[in-house]
């Protein structure tokens, strides 16, 4: 190891609305919820990631929890900077005499504006980044699932994250056409929350709604292997007393229907503007589904029925983007032109 290597750390970051993942030395070393808890009086960070998530919805007036990212972009600059800094500190808990110089590759939504891009870069630089490169999420996802992005062949990637759903057609190491909509995992969680309030007249928290989405979430009202009924606790809106009730997967399919229809609309729009030669490649190869949203039961079948194309769910879809970001970091000379 050279002296430069000792002082330089290379890290790949998937800065997600719901979760942040960091790769260092080819390993995922951080996988934490994108949330921080701060003291209202001093504005000092108390907890980051999983520890802060456990406080979410349960804090008293002196503590507030902040999710620094909204719809895939930084909504709270100060909190984002502290979160990135704290998560980088998790890589090497031992103290060094001198903090390492950081080379970072961070993935960003394809529909991001220049101002939002600047915010990501500034947060990373303030958190210790000496060299900061940005790569678009669909490109990172494609690299992460093993697609040769440089070949003259069209591939369609759908990455459904926490804040955004990214749909992109990739060929010759570039995004030919894309659609980025701010309907994704967070919106699905809100849909579940509203459904439970309107249909069961029970108020539940964001964390409970997220748990329902994971355990009994479905895109179809009829599944071959349905998940078991889930027992949910919340506050009765009429009596104000805590109450338990059962919820089934077909109810969640009803709750998510409108939002999934919006994602389908964006997919059809992307297919409409795809050049014919690439459209024939997509017909041959099918569509690749990544991101946390890919884990919703029956979503691949629903998209397949809508587009009449094969839909492949990536292995470990939650980590496809960070894996691709890590590969781009490792081959920075080769993939340099993909970055901004």
pLDDT in tens, 220-258: 999 999 999 999 999 999 999 999 999 999 999 999 999
Please report the pLDDT score of residue 95 as a whole number. 55
> Are 232 and 193 contained in the same domain?
yes
333: Cα separation from own chain's centroid = 26
Query: Is residue 109 in a domain?
Result: yes
300, 233: one domain: no
The domain tally of the chain equals: 3
Same domain? 108 vs 33 = yes
Residues 106 and 245 reside in one and the same domain: no
Provide the whole-model pTM: 0.91
Judgement on whether residues 312 and 227 belong to the same structural domain of the protein: no
Residue range 85-110: mean pLDDT, rounded: 78
Q: Are residues 293 and 154 in the same domain?
A: yes
Q: Give CA–CA dist 223/252, Å, rounded.
A: 12
CATH code, 284: 3.30.420.40
Query: Which CA distances in Å does 294 have to 77, 160, 171, 289?
Result: 29, 7, 22, 6
Q: Report the CATH number that the domain containing residue 229 is assigned in CATH.
A: 3.90.640.10
Residue 329 maps to a domain: no
| Closest residue by Cα to residue 321 from 119, 165, 161, 213 | 161
For residue 313, pLDDT over 50 is answered with: yes
The answer to whether residues 16 and 101 belong to one domain is: yes
Q: At what angle do helices 77-89 and 114-126 cross, to 10 degrees?
A: 40
Instruction: Kindly state whether residues 290 and 147 are assigned to the same domain.
Output: yes
**Which residue in 53, 286, 289 sits closest to 184, CA to CA?**
289
Neighbouring-strand partners of residue 132: 104
Q: Which domain holds residue 201?
A: 185-255
Same domain? For 11 and 117 the reply is yes
- Mean pLDDT over the full length of the chain: 91
Q: Are residues 162 and 275 in the same domain?
A: yes
pLDDT for res 6: 55
Q: How many CA atoms lie within 13 A of 289 on its CB side?
A: 21
Q: Say how far apart CA 23 and CA 11 lie, in whole Å.
A: 6
What are the structure tokens assigned to 280, written together?
């024939």
Task: Detail the DSSP E strand segments found in the chain.
Answer: 8-15, 19-24, 27-33, 36-39, 45-48, 63-66, 69-70, 73-74, 101-108, 129-136, 155-160, 165-171, 174-181, 202-203, 230-236, 242-247, 287-290, 311-313
Distance CA 183, CA 168 (A): 15
Q: Are residues 232 and 106 in the same domain?
A: no
Q: What pLDDT does residue 91 have?
A: 84
Which of 80, 105, 139 is the last residue before a domain boundary? 139
Verify that 64 and 146 share a domain, yes or no: no
pLDDT tens-place string over residues 4-40: 455 678 999 999 999 999 999 899 999 999 999 999 8
């Amino acid at each position: 190891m050279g002296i430069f290597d000792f002082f330089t750390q290379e890290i790949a970051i998937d800065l997600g609305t719901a979760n942040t993942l960091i790769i260092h030395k080819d390993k995922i070393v951080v996988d934490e919820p994108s949330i921080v808890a701060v003291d209202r009086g001093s504005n000092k960070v108390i907890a980051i990631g999983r520890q802060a998530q456990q406080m979410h919805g349960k804090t008293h007036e002196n503590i507030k929890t902040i999710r620094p990212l909204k719809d895939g972009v930084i909504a709270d600059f100060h909190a984002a900077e502290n979160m990135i800094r704290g998560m980088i500190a998790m890589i090497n808990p031992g103290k060094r005499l001198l903090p390492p110089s950081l080379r970072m590759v961070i993935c960003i939504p394809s529909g991001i504006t220049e101002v939002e891009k600047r915010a990501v870069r500034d947060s990373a630089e303030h958190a210790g980044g000496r060299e900061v490169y940005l790569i678009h999420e669909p490109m990172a996802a494609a690299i992460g699932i093993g697609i040769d992005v440089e070949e003259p062949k069209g591939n369609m990637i759908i990455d459904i994250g926490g804040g955004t759903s990214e749909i992109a057609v990739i060929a010759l190491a570039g995004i030919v056409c894309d659609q980025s909509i701010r309907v994704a995992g967070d919106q699905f969680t809100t849909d579940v929350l509203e459904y439970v309030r309107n249909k069961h007249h029970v108020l539940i928290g964001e964390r409970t709604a997220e748990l329902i989405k994971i355990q009994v979430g479905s895109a179809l009202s009829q599944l071959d292997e349905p998940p078991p009924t889930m027992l949910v606790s919340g506050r009765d809106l009429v009596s104000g007393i805590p109450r338990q009730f059962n919820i089934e997967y077909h109810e969640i399919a009803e709750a998510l229907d409108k939002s999934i229809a919006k994602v389908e609309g964006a997919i059809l729009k992307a297919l409409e503007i795809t050049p014919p030669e690439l459209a024939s490649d997509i017909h041959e190869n099918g569509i690749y589904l990544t991101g946390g949203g890919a884990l919703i039961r029956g979503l691949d079948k629903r998209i397949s029925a809508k587009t009449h194309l094969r839909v492949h769910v990536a292995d470990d879809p939650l980590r496809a983007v960070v894996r691709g970001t890590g590969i781009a970091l490792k081959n920075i000379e080769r993939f340099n032109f993909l970055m901004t």
